[in-house]
Structure 1
Amino acid sequence: MLKPWRALVSALLIPIVLAGCKPDAPPQEPRVDPAAYDAFYVWPGVRPAADLRPRTLYLLNAEVRKVGAPRFERLRMGVPRLHGTAVWLVVRTERLDWDAATYAALLGDLDRWQQAGNEVVGLQVDFDAATRGIAGYAEFLTDLRQRLPRHWQLSVTGLMDWSAHGDPHDLARLGSVIDEVVVQTYQGRSTIPGYGAYFRRMENFPIPFRVALVEGGTWQAPAMLAKQPLFRGYVVFLLRSGAGR
């Protein structure tokens, strides 16, 4: 029988021994550091930090909201001149029943930005098209493509679920209309869990694509991206103004 003081020592040592037997915690996924990238989503009110060297910027320029009649709501008052940077103007839309005034305003902004001396690559449409709604979305984009001068490219944002459950025929039709898809891997300020499973299904994705990451989100590049011939790189969604870094 253990003496009282020996029993006390044993009681204190047991938790320490057991703690040492626990398996190591799995390594944490690295966080997205904007300084490691050169393409960014920039929403109004956010300025890239001075240490970033953007080669490509996706700038939210306007919205078409769901309430009321279609209306092109411009979010940027001025037109800066961005030297040495390729620019995509982004329009975020909650509806696809655009009217003539909406198209005219959109095309007018592309002209204004180009005439200001910017290297305007084209237009990106940011629309939450459900996977089962790709066919209807392709019809809208076909009409938009016909209105858009050929020297500008057409980009869209896309869900990771398109790769898992998208109809191959609908994706092929979409690919005949647009120049790229930027696949969103985040919701709000966080990376969507389980993104690796989606990317394993993208080996035969038929459209050139970039991958959008959120600043500070977790990200470990799936191995298949290095082998996917249509993978065009990353775009980082900036959350903070450069003054706050």
Structure 2
Amino acid sequence: MGQEAALLLVNRAALLLILVLLSACRAAAPERVRAEDYTAFYLWAGVRAPAALQSAETVYLLAGEVRRDGRYIALRAVPRAPQHEVWLVVRSQTLDWPPPVEARIIADLARWREAGNRVAGLQIDFDASTRGLDRYAAFLAALRQRLPPAWRLSVTGLMDWSANADPAALASLKGVVDEVVVQSYQGRSTIPGYARYLDRLARVPVPHKVALVEGGEWREPAALRRDPLFRGYVVFLLAR
């Protein structure tokens, strides 16, 4: 073999190696969550709706907050979004809801529907610790008894529930809540190590979704697609 032919083979081998390395880097790099790739969203008060929201199937709208002192603070006027299925979301800092607050929230569900919205139900956004899940389940069971049967009940959940919650506490959610939306982010970033938690999400015995943060890193764990109760994703939209 001549020197030029040998050099050509070396250059081809080097080029092939570079292409393989670049391909491996692309495969290892996490993807970013793009709103336009999804159909369900969280829209918090003060966040401008992106164009992707026009084709959304489901939108979770923050309606208000129950503060630690039991006061209810409304954060949104009655929406008019008949093209979407909407959830009325209440962020809560306490499980001690005064009766007038609970009555106000239930009445808001009816007002939203009367305005022409396709209201799915109520979602509670409360950071129940894994150790406190049994107390949270008891609160939800009591709320479910007073919530008219026309409304479904959804809750947000921590990824740690699936990995470390007591099985009895998880089981107590069955028949009480219609879905759990597990949050995989904190602030504006995806929580590191999310895959090892979501690999055990099938322990949650009610239908569940995974909430992603817009722009956050994400690579779907294979276990999710094998999970018979997995119902897809909800993207938390960020302020622009």
TM superposition score normalised by structure 1: 0.85
Residue correspondence of structure 1 range 52-67 to structure 2 within 5 A: 52=53, 53-66=55-68
Residues 202, 229 of structure 2: 8 Å contact kept: no
Report the identity percentage. Answer: 57
Cα distance, 1:84 vs. partner?
2.0
Q: Which residue of 1 aligns with 2:72?
A: 72
Q: Where does structure 1 lack aligned partners over 5 or more consecutive residues? A: 1-19
> Which amino acid letter does the alignment assign opposite residue 61 of structure 1?
A
- 3-state SS in 2 of match to 1:62: strand
> Which amino acid letter does the alignment assign opposite residue 47 of structure 1?
R
Residues 134, 174 of structure 1: 8 Å contact kept: no
> Which amino acid letter does the alignment assign opposite residue 58 of structure 1?
Y
User: After alignment, is 197-206 or 156-165 more displaced?
Assistant: 197-206
User: After alignment, is 197-206 or 84-93 more displaced?
Assistant: 197-206
Query: For each residue in 1:107-135, what CA deviation from the matched residue of structure 2 results, as whole angstroms up to 9, or x when unmatched?
Result: 11111100001000000000000001111
- 3-state SS in 1 of match to 2:235: strand
Q: Which residue of 1 aligns with 2:30?
A: 29
Cα distance, 1:99 vs. partner?
0.8
Cα distance, 1:83 vs. partner?
2.1
- 3-state SS in 2 of match to 1:193: coil
Q: Which residue of 2 aligns with 1:116?
A: 115
Residues 208, 231 of structure 2: 8 Å contact kept: yes
Q: Which residue of 1 aligns with 2:205?
A: 206
Q: Which residue of 1 aligns with 2:238?
A: 239
Q: Which has the larger radius of gyration?
A: 1
Residues 212, 233 of structure 2: 8 Å contact kept: yes
- 3-state SS in 2 of match to 1:131: coil
Cα distance, 1:199 vs. partner?
1.4
Taking the aligned partners of 1:207 and 1:132, their CA distance within structure 2 comes to: 19
Taking the aligned partners of 1:190 and 1:51, their CA distance within structure 2 comes to: 20
Q: Which residue of 2 aligns with 1:106?
A: 105
Cα distance, 1:205 vs. partner?
2.8
Residue correspondence of structure 1 range 162-241 to structure 2 within 5 A: 162-241=161-240
Residues 92, 125 of structure 1: 8 Å contact kept: yes
User: After alignment, is 146-155 or 44-53 more displaced?
Assistant: 44-53
Q: Over aligned residues, Cα RMSD in angstroms?
A: 1.5
- 3-state SS in 1 of match to 2:182: strand
Q: Which residue of 1 aligns with 2:7?
A: none
Query: For each residue in 1:195-226, what CA deviation from the matched residue of structure 2 results, as whole angstroms up to 9, or x when unmatched?
Result: 01111222343111000000000000000111
Taking the aligned partners of 2:51 and 2:181, their CA distance within structure 1 comes to: 25
Residues 35, 52 of structure 2: 8 Å contact kept: no
Taking the aligned partners of 1:203 and 1:151, their CA distance within structure 2 comes to: 27
> Which amino acid letter does the alignment assign opposite residue 62 of structure 1?
G
- 3-state SS in 2 of match to 1:203: helix
Residue correspondence of structure 1 range 142-157 to structure 2 within 5 A: 142-157=141-156
- 3-state SS in 1 of match to 2:217: coil
Cα distance, 1:160 vs. partner?
0.3
